[in-house]
Amino acid sequence: MAQFEDPFAGTPKAAIKRELGVDNSTPLEKARRGEIFESNGLYGIKDEDGYVTFPAKYSFIGKCIDHILFLEPSGNYVKMSAGCTESGFMPKNERSVILFLQ
C-alpha cells in the first residue's frame, strides 16, 4: 500500500511538538502520518514511533489526500475527513470492488 505523505510533517511547528513529545493531533492526522501494518490478514495503523493508533481489525484501510476509509470484515466502515466522520454499513457487492483495489 502507498504511504501517505503529510504535507505539514516538516513544518517548524510540527518539529517542535515532536521534540516536546506533544501530540494533540486529531485521529485523522495521526492516521495520515501513520504506517499501515498487517497482522493475521487484517490491517491497522502505527504512528511514527511504532505505537498502534488503530488496531489491526480492518479488512481494508484506504488513505487519500482528504480522507481515510476503514472497512471492517463485517462490512461496517468509518470514513474520516477534516471536520467530519461518517460511518455506516457497506453491502458485499460494494466491498468486493474496494478489496480488489488492494
Instruction: Write out pLDDT tens, residues 38-84.
Output: 999 999 999 877 888 899 999 999 888 788 889 999 999 999 888 78
Residue 5 has pLDDT above 50, yes or no: yes
C-beta separation of 42 from 52 below 8 A? no
Other CB atoms closer than 10 Å to residue 36's CB: what's the count?
A: 21
C-beta separation of 59 from 71 below 8 A? yes
pLDDT at position 2 is 46
The secondary structure of residue 34, as a DSSP letter, is S
Closest CA to 65 of 28, 36, 99, 25: 28
Instruction: Write out pLDDT tens, residues 24-41.
Output: 677 777 788 889 999 999
Q: Does 53 or 14 have the greater pLDDT score?
A: 53
Number of helices (H) and strands (E) in the chain: give both, helices first.
3, 7
Q: Does 40 or 18 have the greater pLDDT score?
A: 40
Domain locations in the chain? 12-100
Average pLDDT over residues 3-15: 62
Distances in whole angstroms, Cα of residue 42 to Cα of each of 39, 55, 66? 5, 9, 23
Residue 74: which residues within 8 A CB-CB, separation 6 or more? none
User: Which of 5-9, 41-45, 61-65, 89-93 shows the highest mean pLDDT?
Assistant: 41-45
